[in-house]
A and B are shown apart, each in its own frame.
Chain A
Amino acid sequence: MPPIIHTEKLSKTFAGHKKQIVEAVRAIDLDVAEGEIFGLLGPNGAGKTTTMRMLCTLLVPTGGRATVTGLDLVTQAGEIRERIGYVGQKGGLEPVATGRENLMLHAQLYRLSKAEAARRVDSVIERLNLGSFADRKAETYSGGQKRIFDLASGVINRPQLLFLDEPTTGLDPQSRARVWEEVRALHAQKTTIFVTTHYLEEADALCDRVAIVDLGKIVALGSPAELKQQIAGDIVTLGFNDETELSAASALLQSQPLIRERHQSGATLQLYVDRGDEALPEIMRILGQGHRPPKTIHLSRPSLDDVFLKLTGHTLRKSESE
């Protein structure tokens, strides 16, 4: 089966401040298979949203080529739009209109007759259980209600491929769970889902495959399990009172053979070790002898965040706040 998304050296540059050229997306090669949930991970500014906006025909690429649902991204954009759904970060409901009116407009813009559109809207409202607030103005919705309506609007044309741009950002835990429940239901109906997120735990739990992007490039691609295997062993995380203490402790651990790699971020030090259970007492002994005991200590299996840190040298959370 041909991939539902295929890109070759897909690139986007913007004319930035003072004629500087900003390379937002640099030659991305990507294949997404039909039926998978594919996650694009990375910090803000990494090029996730730009990549997604190109793939759903909102932005014209400045380099490379791509096919989406087997159609050329640039010359067949109109046909692609018929087959895809897209839920942007901001949603896209007209606040003064009701949720139902919004869905009716979208359904009719997908060339459904008024009667067909009304039936389609009713069925979506019923399936997603939106009836209790469908006839209120969208501006009165809570964040979670709004998001579910955004999602309803994204699937109103029964797309083969659904793009979700950070669908759970800013939502409370129940609403997040609700969104993912609907995403799983769509996946079960064979809809391909392309999602960007910076919640790594969510990507870990839901995505069949993920690509990690940083500075406009894909730095890793594979299933979450495959990526985590790249970091064999365990991670010891040490917390210190300040960076001076940390540097002193880090120096003590410098030439220890059982520590394969060290990463520093603020006042925490992460040590990659082969066997955490053996390394922990040894680390404590060294730091104790050097009179540099850590304030906190934590042993963990690698997460996608650790994969990210290892590949990019910075954590997702940290680069977000910058």
Chain B
Amino acid sequence: MRDIYLIMTNEIRVTFRNPFWIFHGLVQPVIYLLLFGPLLNGVAGTRGFPSANAIQFFAPGLLIMNALFSAGFVGFSLQDKVDCGFLERLRVTPVSRLALALGLIFVSSIELVIQSTVLVLCALLFGLQFDLFGVLLLVVLILLIGVAMASTSFTLALITREGGMLAGVTNTFVLPLLILSGVMLPISFGPPLIQVLARFDPFLYAVNAARALINGSVLDPSVGIAFLVFAALSLVTLAVFIRGMREAVA
């Protein structure tokens, strides 16, 4: 336990000392909200668009997208730690490998909660209306997504060992997941093939669940599916990452 605490406090200190974090951690999601939100307003009246109010449609999706992106790219920070020998230095101390893995995952989760809070607050300015209980459940869902994505990204970082490779692999799977999730535009706009493919994208359920939760529809079927899928995914990916940390050639 103490090991986890030590790894976390060090990690938090390092993260928040980096001025760049403010940009890619906070400003970037807000830019999406500011620039993409108004664009969607134009489409909001279109036939087939599920919600008359663009922000009500877009903000929940943005929260999920932020989780996908923010946690999906944490592997780069791990590669920095490998490159400067920091991870190796930790691995010759008696620190438990489990604590090392969990410490990193927890810090990425904390970052995600901060980012999500900022996003919700900004969206309020655009007239977002939300159900409090629904939003709290949404935060839990976002954390599950965060754990799954961060574990995947960290594991890939250990496997690829090299930034260019990691960027390639990450983009190859993050972009289709994002587009098929219906964050940007409703999947119902697309041809049948896209609609079928989208059913295999766990983020489709997450985005739908997020939209339901914002409105307080806790019992919407997508909510149950999203929680089940991401609880399972986060457990599996976390287990794989912990195993990777045990054996890592770092």
Contacts and interface: CB of A to CB of B under 8 A. Distances in A.
Contact of B92 (A56, A105, A108, A111): A56
Contacts of A190: none
Q: How large is the interface on A (under 10, 10 to 19, 20 to 34, 35 or more residues)?
A: 20 to 34
Contacts of B89: 86, 88, 91-93, 106, 153
Interface string A71-91: 000000010011011101111
Interface in A87-141: 88-97, 101, 105-106, 108-111
A96 B85 contact: no
A153 B14 CA distance: 18
Given A58-B88, A109-B3, A94 B10 contact: yes
Nearest to A89: B85
Interface string A204-220: 00000000000000000
B68 to A, nearest CB: 26
B194 interface: no
A175 interface: no
Nearest to A97: B14
B85 A91 contact: yes
B86 A109 contact: no
B249 A91 contact: no
Contact of A93 (B2, B13, B86): B86
Given A91-B85, A92-B88, A82 B94 contact: yes
B90 A109 contact: yes
Interface string B167-204: 00000000000000000000000000000000000000
A59 interface: yes
B73 to A, nearest CB: 18
A301 B249 CA distance: 42
Interface of B: 2-3, 6, 10, 13-14, 17-18, 81, 83-86, 88-95, 247, 249-250
**What 6 A-B pairs are tightest by C-beta distance, nearest first?**
A92-B89, A90-B85, A92-B85, A109-B93, A86-B92, A81-B94
